[in-house]
Amino acid sequence: MVRDITLGQYLPGRSAIHRLDPRMKILLLLAFIVFIFITNNYYALAVTTLSVLSMMLLTRIPVKMYLKSMKMILFIVLFTAVLNLFYGRGEPLVQLGFLKVTQAGINNAVFVAVRIASLIIVSSMLTFTTSPTDLTDALERLMKPLKFFHVKVHEIAMMMTIALRFVPTLLEETDKIMSAQKARGADMESGNLIQRIKALVPVLVPLFVSAFRRAYELATAMECRCYRGGDGRTRMKSLHFSKTDVCAVCICALIFTGVILCNAFLPAAVR
């Protein structure tokens, strides 16, 4: 299960999505999050879903990587969808005691499931196609106006990127520790929930020790390289927008127009 978590992984490539400016990727991510949650009928939902799937194919990243991203939250998606299934007004289509399934409930369940799945896909797309260094630079550039309020933008961007970067490392370390514990006869898969939680205690202690050791090593390495924060720092690679970014903005505007038109002129399925 630990190996199925893909959060924070970067997969190098030469696709059109990889070549986008990292600032543009973050802005497009925010835009698509808005698109996903303002849809109120199936036509608008289809427009956003097809757009997300098209971008997913453009990344040229194996679909199984996105499925791994979905695997960890599949229970949450299904659980949320089931809850919304029984939460809707109108004439019941199916009634089981005090639980009733209505057309509004079905619509709510479908929209919630598709929205969460699309959100995970576009978020994974950002980390899959953007290196930690580019992500740090992009976040710092986008948050630059906050410097007027004396916010330490560079430090915030650095912390966010380091945290994201170390997720795969810690997951790999967790997998190694669990394998070592199982080799010593530890049983982590049987028993009730409380017993399984207790079985994880021997994993958490060495994991925390390893995490603090890696943090100390990283801090030492940064000090040895004379890292002193963002003041006066130069960049080996400067960010600049290209024609690909302009095309991405135009496509995003077309999608936004399509969603707005669908919402305005077609009957709403959810409110």
For residue 250, the model assigns a pLDDT of 94
Contact call for residues 154 and 144 (beta carbons, < 8 A):
no
**Which pair of structure tokens corresponds to residue 215?**
């943090």
Percent of the residues in the chain that have a pLDDT greater than 70, as a whole number = 92
53-59 contact pairs (CB < 8 A, 24+)? 53/121, 55/17, 55/122, 55/125, 56/121, 56/125, 58/15, 58/16, 58/17, 59/13, 59/15, 59/17, 59/18, 59/125, 59/128, 59/129
Query: pLDDT tens digits for 173-210?
Result: 888 888 888 887 777 677 776 777 777 788 888 888 88
What CA–CA distance (Å, rounded) separates 117 from 35?
14
- The listed range with the strongest mean pLDDT (158-162, 169-173, 176-180, 248-252) is 248-252
What CA–CA distance (Å, rounded) separates 27 from 54?
18
Chain center to CA of 157 = 17
What CA–CA distance (Å, rounded) separates 107 from 269?
6
**Which pair of structure tokens corresponds to residue 209?**
């020790």
What CA–CA distance (Å, rounded) separates 163 from 135?
12
pLDDT band at 233 (very low <50, low <70, confident <90, very high): low
Contact call for residues 12 and 232 (beta carbons, < 8 A):
no
pLDDT band at 3 (very low <50, low <70, confident <90, very high): low
The helix/strand/coil state of 189 is: coil
Question: Which residues touch 106 (CB under 8 Å, ≥6 apart)?
Answer: 85, 88, 93
For residue 83, the model assigns a pLDDT of 84
pLDDT band at 6 (very low <50, low <70, confident <90, very high): low
For residue 84, the model assigns a pLDDT of 83
* Cα dist from 28 to 5, 175, 258, whole Å: 24, 34, 16
Query: pLDDT tens digits for 81-95?
Result: 888 888 777 777 777
pLDDT band at 159 (very low <50, low <70, confident <90, very high): confident
Residue 121 belongs to what H/E stretch? helix 103-129
210 φ, ψ to 5°?
Answer: -65, -40
pLDDT band at 230 (very low <50, low <70, confident <90, very high): low
For residue 132, the model assigns a pLDDT of 80
The pTM assigned to this predicted structure is 0.78
Question: Which residues touch 258 (CB under 8 Å, ≥6 apart)?
Answer: 44, 47
Question: Which residues touch 55 (CB under 8 Å, ≥6 apart)?
Answer: 17, 122, 125
Q: What is the CA radius of gyration of the chain?
A: 23
pLDDT band at 247 (very low <50, low <70, confident <90, very high): very high
pLDDT band at 131 (very low <50, low <70, confident <90, very high): confident
Decide: residue 234, CB within 10 A, 0-12 exposed, 13-18 middle, 19+ buried. Answer: exposed
